[in-house]
Amino acid sequence: MLQNCHLLTSWLKTLESTIEGLNKPDKGFRLWLTTNPIDPTAPIRFPLGILQRSLKVVTEPPDGLSANIKQAYSKLNDEILNECPKAEYKSLIYVLSFFHATI
């Protein structure tokens, strides 16, 4: 997994040539890349060869703190929130969701 590829777009040409040089990769081989949107007017862009050979998954955080926290809570149900016997558990879940939404 290569994260934050938008920070070093000049190196992506090297990665593209390396990927093209793979003759018979293992059937279990997967290469995950993460990136933020790249300015289309930038002098160095994300290589088309990588984009054309890729399965793209896009996730965008919801706008605003409240919507972001609601999204985190939408993945939880009462069963998950009540499975821990500690009284602090629900508060910690909220704090973690708030922290995640803020970051």
65-75: per-residue pLDDT in tens?
Answer: 999 888 888 88
Global model pTM greater than 0.75: no
The reported pLDDT for the residue numbered 16 is 92
For 69, the 3-state DSSP assignment is helix
Q: What is the pLDDT of residue 6?
A: 85
Sorting pLDDT into bands at 50, 70 and 90, what band is 15? very high
- Vertex 39, ends 33 and 45: CA angle to 5°? 60
Q: Are 5 and 12 in contact (CB under 8 A)?
A: yes
Statement: residue 49 has pLDDT above 90: no
